[in-house]
Amino acid sequence: MIKSKKIERKSIRVFFAIFPNKQVQKQLIYHSEMLESIYGGHKIKMQHLHMTLLFLGDINIHQIQTLQQIAKIISAKKFELKLDIIGYWKHNHIIYIKAKEFPAELFSLTDSLKIALSENGFVFDNRAYKPHITILHKTICHINTNMIKPIQWYVNQWFLIQSQPTHNGVEYIPLNHWYLE
């Protein structure tokens, strides 16, 4: 008889993000279904629609508590997004939705997070932040247009998420969340 060993994961893939409420999710899904019928590709699952604040990638599982303690001291204000642009990135074949103008509070949150994490020894890709919500992937098109009716999104919390690979794709597991002031 062969005994199976339980494999203990020493690292997990994590990121910080904001997630839209149900009303905003439904509007994003409407656009993704409309665009999918024209351009093909695969729409993002409703529960996976999000705007990444900072992607950390694989970290040691023992660092989760430290991440949560750092996030708890971040002070940032609530904000509203007016999502009004549909765009396409050729290099990774995605259609996304974003805002023409982003509120300063969004960048304040991401900057505070980057500073606090850097000061505590966390390493991450420090490219320029390009906030967006991916709605379709594996597509080919050349769309870059204003939306007829913008989507209003009131943001009052943010999350630490684990990206967990499964046999059905990736699942997002919320590890914690924090409210904006």
| Catalytic (active-site) positions | 50, 132
H or E element in which residue 72 lies:
helix 64-72
The number of C-alpha atoms within 13 Å of 70 and in the hemisphere containing its C-beta is 21
Residue 102 has φ and ψ, to the nearest 5°, of -105, 145
Phi-psi region of 154 (alpha: psi -120 to 50; beta: other; left: phi over 0): beta
What letter does residue 7 receive in the DSSP assignment? P
The number of C-alpha atoms within 13 Å of 2 and in the hemisphere containing its C-beta is 3
Bridge-based pairing state of the strands 11-18 and 157-166: antiparallel
